[in-house]
Structure 1
Amino acid sequence: MNDIETNFSTSAEWYSGFTGKLDITNRSENLDGWTLEFEAPFEITEIWDAKILSKDGNKYVIGNLDYNKDLASGETETITFNADKVDGEIVAPENYALSSNEAEFSSAAENIKTNNNEDFPAAPTNFSTSAEWYSGFTGKLDVTNTSENLDGWTVEFEAPFEITEIWDAKIISKEGNKYVIGNLDYNKDLASGETETITFNANKVDGEIVALENYALSSNGAANEPVASENIPEPESSIDAGNYPSEDATNEPIASETTTIDNNENSRIEENTFVDDSIDTSSDNAKQEDYLDGSENDSDDSHLQVKGRFLYDANGDKVIMRGIENVVRYGEYQGSGEWNDPYENGSLIDGNGDCVDELAKTGANATRLIGGRPEEFENALEKAVDNNLWVSVGHVDFRDRKVIETIQDNEAYVTLHAQGEVVHEDENKWREDSIQAIKEIRSLGYKAPIEITAGFYGQRFEMILNQGKEILNADPFKNVVFVTQAYSEIENRGGVSANLDKLANFPAPVLVGASNFGIGTQNGYGNDSDTYKEVWDETYKRDLGSFYWAWSDAGYGDVVSSNRRFDGLTPVGDYIVNDSPANLSSHAPKTDFLLDADFK
């Protein structure tokens, strides 16, 4: 064991849990790989900058990741995690021990009883994928018990990839490429001849899906302790996922791909079938049974809910917003980003919602309504819901009683664009202001997702990557969506594709703004005149939501419509609506719940 100094603190707290920060300082020799033991009565549900190797009762063993395995003498490593409270209280870890990982990996493995012996032969399995994207995939593992009935089970296998989410099982340990996963309470009984299907999301290895191998099914003994969160909706397969032409491709449709991997060989058996991108992608699968606040998902208390990097509707179907912003009434933007910044005294553009009727003809599944007095906002929201659009609500008086009633009556269809585009680039101030905004918004009774926009007019997406997790965890509902505006500078800050890759890997939904922002192009600090096309197309490839600024009367941005009507599409509008391979006319699917929308 090595000498160690520790400091435990919390950065966020909600009704049933907290975000903890654990600083560990190595006071001994340099370590090339490390593990940390400690005792804690709580359940860790998420962890960053470390991985859980085992949990035996109250004893945790966690270890380094690849990028932080070197811990020099005197160096401090900070580990962040979410955990459940114990009897409503935050309890501090204790009895820390820091070790080199060579010895500790061995002892951690010994604490996991998988009982692999001759009575439990290798399990007949079938591995397939139900979805695939640029950096990862959704895998399905069918495990059949060919031995005696099991009252609790574990499956061991080897795989070089990182599992990021799992359903119908829990990860007990991961040591190198070796995983041990186990049953949940409701599926612990696995009769002889019965098959259990386990679903997971994982990262590709060098851009490829790699097969699992060396399976073993066992009784779980006594060590089947949970590490991964169970309350995660099963991912649904998106018909649009992967069906996207490359820049040099022809206009021929791209086939969707179903990949089955032979468990005994590293071979991929691909079966291609054409799927029409215009088909609605709503699904009866992967229903979301309840919300993160523990409330039941019923018709009297429905709202969009964040789960991982996606939104889900009240039926549990995945939602990716793709639409156009629409100005109800302009205001004088001060750049403060103060969350309740209503536009009530500027130029009136769409007080009756007529533009919403026209915008809906594009095929968009969403719009962002900007500004308006309470009655004007109500008119526009009614038109949007009646036209089966998700609605991002911005720059209304969220404290106004009529606005509160209007939103809460239709909360199933809205997100709250409540924290706007601050001018400054102070990440710490942005984080604290955002957390305070969330507290104030929730105090008004809103449950809908809260949109938090990055600093410097929405351009500094790095703020989201660096501070977003802490903001998300400050919300008792964990129902936060982040927004960045790729109007200018994105090309000069690493390029469109590279930056969107980073946002697509962020563990919460991100909405990306696109616009042919004329003032930026004219003055040399923005993007070139075609950047909005790349932003629009590349967000679609990555299943990122996107809004174009704006439908009409948009100031500096090139508008979609020159006359506020669908028959007045500009060249920009033609691209967004018709010409883009990610056009709104056939690439903005609506769920069954949205198609049945009813304004109240």
Structure 2
Amino acid sequence: MKILKKTHSTFYALGLLAGIVFSLSISGCGKKDKGTADLKKGLHVVDGKYLADDCGNKVLLRGINMGNIYAARFGQNELEEIAQTGANSVRLVLTREYQDWSNGGAMTALSGSALEGMISSCISKGMIPILELHDFTGTGNVLTDLPKAVAWWTKPEISTLLFRYQKSIILNIANEPDNGTAHASSYKTANVIAVKGLRDAGYTCPIMVDAPDWGKNHVFFLENGNSMMDADPLRNLIFSVHAYWPVNGAFGNYPDSWLNTTMNNLANSGLPIVIGELARADIQNNIAYQINYSLLMSRCQTQGIGYLVWWWGFYENPGANNQLSMTNDGLFSGLHGAGKAMAVTDANSIQKTAVKACRL
């Protein structure tokens, strides 16, 4: 979601890309600890088409985005509440550093132990942890910033931990790493290189790639998804589209006819597509432009496409809540309006359609 956009210093793209690829190739970072070579064990993409679990069952992601990095105790209380929806997955919002209010607000590196706490909590509740790095949201240069994301995922403290959970996790390289300025060829190149870097480092788990243009450009996957899948030596990718498509928006209108056509095209692509962010509205210039989320949920259900609602809400950090928070107190009992509909009451809500994965 673009409301958490951050800015970052810029480096020369080719130099960084070369450096990442070279350093990975000579270091073999974590290869000795990487997960099983049998990709049919644990979560895996079948024939480049759909996500399956350890028992070979198709998994339709039905989950919620949670801003763990902004929550007290990294969202442990909120994860307990999310589990009451019956969600089978949680997309965990992470940053390389966070403001540690227990230490006067000092910027502090996210540790492997903190990350493990979030992962183990999700798994214990039957929810697939989808780990996403939020630092490069809305970047103007995907070629320089995705290598930084790869560098963080392949840090020994992080990679050694995640290799132990490869059967149970999905790794989302970076959240919305394009502000709409990237050329399709550059965006594809940056992601193909990033996937290669992660594979060379030892990651065998499914890797999730966000669409360009703040995650909204679904056409990119229709045109490039198959070749990107072929470029992954494990053919183990998931393609995430963020459905900020308001009925009447300040920057575009998306009527029901357009939504129906788009969902048909995504389903007919044969690719493992997920609506990685599904919200009740798109916030443009601080105005909420409504999205027909109920129609999107219905089409996801009938066409076998996963969805993850943006986003839960905060219990001990209520100041982090905003217009799209499903609950303003971080509690299941605090679900309201569209948030309650998406989680519980809609005919195609999480609670009514989620099926847990086998043996996380």
TM norm structure 1: 0.44
Once the two structures are superposed, residues 301-326 of structure 1 have per-residue CA deviations (whole angstroms, 9 ceiling, x without a partner) of 64423434211112212111110011
Matched, 1:418 2:179: no
Matched, 1:516 2:271: no
Gaps of at least 5 residues in structure 1 are 1-293, 330-346
Describe the SS at the equivalent of 1:361.
Answer: helix
Residues 413 and 432 from structure 1, CA distance in 2 versus in 1: closer, same or farther, beyond 3 angstroms?
A: same
Q: How does 1:276-287 map to 2 (within 5 A)?
A: none
RMSD: 2.4
Report the Cα offset of residue 547 of structure 1: 0.4
Would you say the 8 A contact 2:39–2:204 is kept in 1?
no
Q: Which residue of 2 aligns with 1:507?
A: 270
- Give the residue type in structure 1 aligned to 2:122: A
- Give the residue type in structure 1 aligned to 2:216: Q
Report the Cα offset of residue 406 of structure 1: 2.5
Describe the SS at the equivalent of 1:471.
Answer: helix
Q: Distance in 2 between matches of 1:399 and 1:295?
A: 19
Q: Distance in 2 between matches of 1:530 and 1:489?
A: 4
Matched, 1:316 2:56: yes
Q: Which residue of 2 aligns with 1:552?
A: 313
Q: Distance in 2 between matches of 1:478 and 1:413?
A: 17
Would you say the 8 A contact 1:552–1:564 is kept in 2?
yes
Q: How does 1:19-418 map to 2 (within 5 A)?
A: 295-296=37-38, 302-329=42-69, 347-351=70-74, 353-371=76-94, 373-374=110-111, 375-395=113-133, 397-418=152-173
- Give the residue type in structure 2 aligned to 1:477: L
- Structure 1 residue ranges (4+ consecutive) displaced by more than 6 angstroms after TM superposition: none
TM norm structure 2: 0.71
Q: Which residue of 1 aligns with 2:335?
A: 569
Describe the SS at the equivalent of 2:313.
Answer: coil
Report the Cα offset of residue 568 of structure 1: 1.1
Report the Cα offset of residue 369 of structure 1: 0.6
Matched, 1:474 2:240: no
Would you say the 8 A contact 1:454–1:484 is kept in 2?
yes
Would you say the 8 A contact 1:516–1:557 is kept in 2?
no
Q: Distance in 1 between matches of 2:160 and 2:42?
A: 15
Once the two structures are superposed, residues 316-356 of structure 1 have per-residue CA deviations (whole angstroms, 9 ceiling, x without a partner) of 12111110011111xxxxxxxxxxxxxxxxx4445252211
Would you say the 8 A contact 2:245–2:291 is kept in 1?
no
Describe the SS at the equivalent of 2:283.
Answer: helix
Once the two structures are superposed, residues 104-152 of structure 1 have per-residue CA deviations (whole angstroms, 9 ceiling, x without a partner) of xxxxxxxxxxxxxxxxxxxxxxxxxxxxxxxxxxxxxxxxxxxxxxxxx
Describe the SS at the equivalent of 2:350.
Answer: coil
Report the Cα offset of residue 529 of structure 1: 2.3
Residues 557 and 471 from structure 1, CA distance in 2 versus in 1: closer, same or farther, beyond 3 angstroms?
A: farther
Q: Distance in 2 between matches of 1:521 and 1:498?
A: 28
Larger Rg: 1
Residues 353 and 534 from structure 1, CA distance in 2 versus in 1: closer, same or farther, beyond 3 angstroms?
A: same
Once the two structures are overlaid, the 10-residue window that deviates more, 301-310 or 531-540, is 301-310
Q: Distance in 2 between matches of 1:426 and 1:349?
A: 39
Structure with greater proportional strand content: 1
Would you say the 8 A contact 2:301–2:348 is kept in 1?
yes
Would you say the 8 A contact 1:510–1:545 is kept in 2?
yes
Structure with greater proportional helix content: 2
Q: Distance in 2 between matches of 1:473 and 1:480?
A: 10
Q: Distance in 2 between matches of 1:389 and 1:415?
A: 11
Would you say the 8 A contact 1:367–1:389 is kept in 2?
yes
Q: How does 1:441-452 map to 2 (within 5 A)?
A: 441-452=198-209
Once the two structures are superposed, residues 481-524 of structure 1 have per-residue CA deviations (whole angstroms, 9 ceiling, x without a partner) of 0011112358735621110111111222111121123523965x
Gaps of at least 5 residues in structure 2 are 1-35, 96-109, 135-151, 315-319
Would you say the 8 A contact 1:515–1:557 is kept in 2?
no
